[in-house]
């Protein structure tokens, strides 16, 4: 069931009504049943995967929790009795046991994820999203940031809450659980905010992303005809499509949760306004980046072997470089894993490593940049900031090419053709009319992008929806009608047409 | 107090432009990024003979110089 399908709208309306009719305490169970039903529509076999992950994580988190409780009792009883060294040895032994439970569970869960994503098989919907979310929960339990959930059904709902099952956001237990299990009372403001957000998501997905899709498809489908300047056009069109598609989908997810009174974490903060790649990764797919930082980067970079390696490097290579090298090793592992999380192909792996390389190079060159900025009189003014944003956007566009072609060779070949083909004339001679957009398509895309840009600019001063809801009712209804009509008239859909699959569904 | 001075030295070496005496929200406001945090873990580990693990890398332990200092004292006791 696609988030933009008629079925989903009907399903959602029913879920919202029944949810608020249910007694408060029963709402979480109803939402779990609705989530199972939602997931079952994508194929019953998919339930096996999510079921396996949930059972694995439940059992291991309970084992870890029990060990923590037993250790706490022991530590209290023996604090005044045993010497410090003996207590330390016992503490480390117990921590080792918990680490064993955690490692086994992580390996098994990753095993399930790998089996589900073997190239050639149909991957179960949202597998890599809910696996990360479940593992994050388990690691938080092991770090004693949260207590393990005793109620299996509550944990199942956390892992499988239906809207975010498809493409995230990847929530942390401590952030999602309170509003997910509370069963908040009906509040018309939540419904309004939710419906506005869902409609805005529909606009981004159906009017902008799905209309951009045909041009992207045309260019990528013929590598001998569409080369050179076409690739420049492709990477910009695809990056805009990707943002409208992914953030539009996330708007539908967060809006759906909001209408049910549930707070889901934001996943984007106007990422294409970033002034560096480092900033971009704080504003794009935020929950995934936070996951890799909190659970992988911190774990790897504080691991004993890496700290030892750090000491070794400082002795042999000097303080300055020796200090940084282990960090680069840790970030290499993290970006390699981030690439592979997107797909077990060389393309995604190289994409991950390109990000790593540019981020590390920027880190190394920062003193040089600072000197250069010192010589630019307008370095803190708008034109320079716009230059930085444009540069970062282009950089991201280049790396997004890895997502357009299926092999590293094709991707690099196509990228290289921008510089060798010398066909920049196609940008002005009307050739672009042949990539699959009619004049009306072009006008709708341009208008849609302009509206999205204006909304992004307005967002910098706070929530646009909150401001709309403060308007007088006639103005509010008129605006909503405009948005609805725009989606109905200009959205790519209709009888017999099922909206294009979300790009991030495949990850 | 000498220990607090050592910590302040590590922090100002890392970011001379930040006034660590008064600045709070170091981690929450992303004044220190993840690379800075890991850098601090190594430096503090060397200087204070404590082991900071991934579970300690929380905003409440890194939001201010005082919070970092309290974490070090706690780890030294363990």
Percent of chain A with pLDDT over 90: 64
Residues 388-407 of A with CB under 8 A from B: none
Strand (E) or helix (H) holding A326: helix A319-342
> Looking at beta carbons, which residues of chain A come within 8 Å of B45?
307
Cβ pair A307:B45 closer than 8 A: yes
Instruction: Output the DSSP codes for A433-497.
Output: GGGS--HHHHHHHHHHHHHHHHHHHHHTTS-HHHHHHTS-HHHHHHHHHHHHHHHHHHSS-BTTB
Residue linked to tokens 């019953």: A44
Query: Using one digit for the tens of pLDDT, what is the confidence trace for A424-447?
Result: 888 888 888 888 888 888 999 999
Set of chain B residues whose Cβ sits within 8 Å of the Cβ of A145:
55, 58
pLDDT for residue A495:
41
Q: Is B55 an 8 Å CB contact of chain A?
A: yes
**Does residue A203 have a pLDDT over 90?**
yes
**Mutate which: A98, A298, A323, A338, vs B, most B CBs within 10 A:** A298
pLDDT at position A418 is 93
For the domain that residue B61 is a member of, what is the CATH number?
Answer: 1.10.1200.10
Give me the residues of chain B with pLDDT under 70, please.
Answer: 1
What are the DSSP calls for B7-52, one per residue? HHHHHHHH-TTS-TTT---TTTTTSS-HHHHHHHHHHHHHHH----
Chain segment A248-261, per-residue pLDDT in tens = 999 999 999 999 99
**What is the average pLDDT value for chain A, to the nearest integer?**
90
Inter-chain touch A323–B39, beta carbons under 8 Å: yes
A82 DSSP 8-state letter: S
**A119 touches A345 (CB < 8 A):** yes
Q: Are A213 and A221 in contact (CB under 8 A)?
A: no
Residue A307 contacts B where some CB pair is shorter than 8 Å: yes
Identify the pLDDT of residue A494. Answer: 47
B58 — contact with chain A (CB < 8 Å)? yes
Q: Is B49 left (phi over 0), alpha (psi -120 to 50) or beta?
A: left
The tally of CA atoms less than 13 A away on the side-chain side of residue A63 is: 18
Residue B49 forms contact with A (CB below 8 Å): no
Q: Is the pLDDT of residue A507 over 70?
A: no
Chain-chain contact of A297 with B38 (C-beta, under 8 angstroms): yes
Of A329, A331, A328, A393, the residue nearest A364 (C-alpha)? A328
pLDDT tens per residue across span A329-353: 899 999 999 999 888 889 999 999 9
Q: What is the pLDDT of residues A29-61, one digit of tens each?
A: 999 999 999 999 888 888 989 999 999 999 999
pLDDT confidence of A115, banded at 50, 70, 90?
confident
Of A224, A227, A246, the closest CA to residue A235 belongs to A227
Q: How many CA atoms lie within 13 A of A400 on its CB side?
A: 25
User: Per-residue pLDDT tens for B31-47?
Assistant: 888 888 988 998 898 88
DSSP assignment letter at A296: I
Nearest-angstrom CA–CA distance, A202 and A206: 6
pLDDT above 50 (res A497) = no
Rama region for A485: left / alpha / beta (φ>0; ψ in -120 to 50; rest): alpha
DSSP A159-216: HH-HHHHTT-----HHHHHHHHHH-PPP-HHHHHHHHHHHHHHHIIIIIIIHHHHHHH
Contact of B3 with chain A, judged by CB distance below 8 Å, is answered with: no
Instruction: Give yes or no for residue A482 having a pLDDT over 60.
Output: yes
Query: At A289, is the pLDDT very low, low, confident or very high (cuts 50, 70, 90)?
Result: very high
Candidate from B46, B53, B58 with C-beta closest to A302: B53
Q: What are the angstrom distances between the C-alpha of A285 and each of A168, A246, A290, A364? A: 9, 9, 9, 25
Ranked by mean pLDDT, the top range of A33-47, A115-129, A301-315 is A33-47
Closest chain B residue to A306, measured at CA: B42
Side-chain half-sphere of B8: how many Cα atoms within 13 Å? 11
| Interface confidence (ipTM) of the complex | 0.90
Give the model confidence (pLDDT) of A382-397 as tens digits.
889 999 999 999 999 9
> Would you state the pLDDT for residue A504?
66
Distance CA(A321)–CA(A304), nearest Å, equals 19
- For residue A215, count other CB atoms closer than 10 A to its CB: 23
Distance from CA of B75 to the nearest CA of A (A): 12
Please, which residues have CB within 8 angstroms of residue A187's CB and are 6 or more apart in sequence? A261
Is the pLDDT at A499 greater than 60? The verdict is no
Residue A496's pLDDT is 42
On whether any CB of chain B is under 8 Å from the CB of A501, the answer is no
Residue B37: its chain A contacts at CB < 8 A?
Answer: 298
CA-to-CA distance for A271 and B6, rounded, in angstroms?
A: 38
Domain boundaries, chain A: 6-186, 191-264+376-490
The count of domains in chain B is 1
What is the structure's pLDDT at A366? 86
Q: Residue A311 has what pLDDT?
A: 81
Q: Which two tokens stand for residue A139?
A: 């690691």
CB-based contact, B78 to chain A, within 8 Å: yes
What confidence category does residue A500 fall into, taking pLDDT thresholds of 50, 70 and 90? low
How far does A230 lie from chain B, in Å, by closest CA? 38
Q: Which domain holds residue B62?
A: 2-77
Interface membership of A362 toward B (CB under 8 Å): no
From B30, B42, B52, residue closest to A310, measured CB to CB? B42
């Amino acid at each position: 069931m696609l988030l933009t399908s008629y079925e989903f709208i009907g399903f959602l309306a029913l879920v919202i009504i029944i949810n608020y009719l249910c007694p408060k305490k029963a709402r979480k169970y109803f939402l779990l049943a609705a989530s199972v039903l939602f997931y079952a529509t994508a194929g019953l076999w998919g339930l096996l995967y999510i079921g396996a992950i949930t059972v694995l994580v439940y059992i291991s988190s309970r084992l870890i929790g029990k060990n923590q409780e037993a250790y706490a009792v022991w530590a209290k009883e023996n604090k005044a009795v045993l010497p410090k060294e003996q207590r330390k040895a016992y503490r480390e032994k117990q921590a080792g046991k918990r680490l064993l439970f955690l490692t086994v569970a992580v390996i098994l869960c990753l095993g399930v994820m790998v089996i589900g994503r073997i190239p050639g098989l149909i991957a179960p919907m949202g597998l890599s999203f809910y696996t990360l979310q479940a593992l994050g929960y388990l690691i938080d339990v092991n770090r004693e940031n949260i207590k393990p959930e005793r109620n299996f059904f509550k944990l199942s709902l956390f892992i499988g809450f239906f809207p975010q099952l498809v493409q995230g956001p990847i929530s942390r237990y401590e952030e999602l659980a309170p509003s997910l299990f509370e069963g908040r009372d009906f509040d018309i403001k939540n419904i309004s905010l939710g419906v506005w957000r869902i409609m805005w998501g529909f606009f981004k997905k159906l009017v902008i992303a799905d209309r951009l899709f045909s041009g992207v498809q045309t260019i990528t489908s013929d590598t001998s005809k569409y080369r050179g300047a076409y690739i420049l056009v492709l990477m910009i069109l695809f990056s805009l499509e990707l943002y409208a598609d992914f953030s539009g989908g996330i708007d539908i997810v967060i809006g759906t949760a909001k209408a049910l009174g549930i707070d889901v974490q934001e996943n984007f903060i106007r990422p294409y306004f970033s002034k560096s790649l480092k900033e971009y990764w704080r504003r794009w797919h935020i929950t995934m980046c936070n996951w890799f930082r909190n659970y992988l980067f911190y774990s790897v970079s504080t691991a004993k072997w890496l700290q030892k390696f750090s000491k070794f490097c400082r002795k042999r290579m000097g303080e300055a470089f020796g200090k940084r090298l282990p960090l680069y090793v840790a970030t290499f592992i993290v970006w390699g894993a981030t690439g592979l999380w997107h797909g077990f192909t060389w393309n995604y792996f190289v994409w991950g490593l390109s990000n790593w390389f540019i981020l590390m190079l920027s880190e190394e060159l920062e003193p040089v940049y600072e000197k250069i900025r010192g010589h630019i009189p307008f370095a803190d003014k708008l034109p320079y900031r716009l230059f930085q944003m444009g540069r970062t956007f282009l950089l991201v566009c280049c790396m997004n090419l890895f997502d357009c072609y299926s092999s590293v060779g094709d991707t690099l070949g196509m990228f290289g053709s921008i510089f060798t083909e010398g066909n920049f004339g196609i940008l002005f001679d009307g050739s672009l009319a042949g990539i699959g957009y009619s004049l009306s398509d072009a006008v709708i895309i341009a208008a849609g992008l302009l509206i999205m840009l204006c909304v992004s600019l307005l967002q910098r001063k706070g929530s646009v929806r909150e401001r709309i809801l403060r308007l007088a009712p006639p103005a509010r209804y008129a605006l909503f009608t405009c948005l609805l009509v725009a989606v109905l008239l200009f959205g790519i859909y209709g009888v017999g047409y099922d909206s294009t699959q979300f790009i991030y569904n495949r990850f | 107090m000498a220990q607090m001075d050592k910590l302040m030295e590590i922090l100002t070496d890392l970011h001379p432009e930040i006034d660590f005496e008064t600045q709070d929200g170091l981690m929450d406001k992303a004044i220190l990024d993840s690379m800075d945090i890991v850098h601090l873990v190594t430096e503090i580990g060397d200087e204070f003979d404590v082991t900071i693990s991934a579970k300690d890398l929380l905003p409440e332990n890194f939001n201010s110089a005082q919070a970092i200092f309290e974490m070090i004292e706690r780890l030294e006791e363990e």
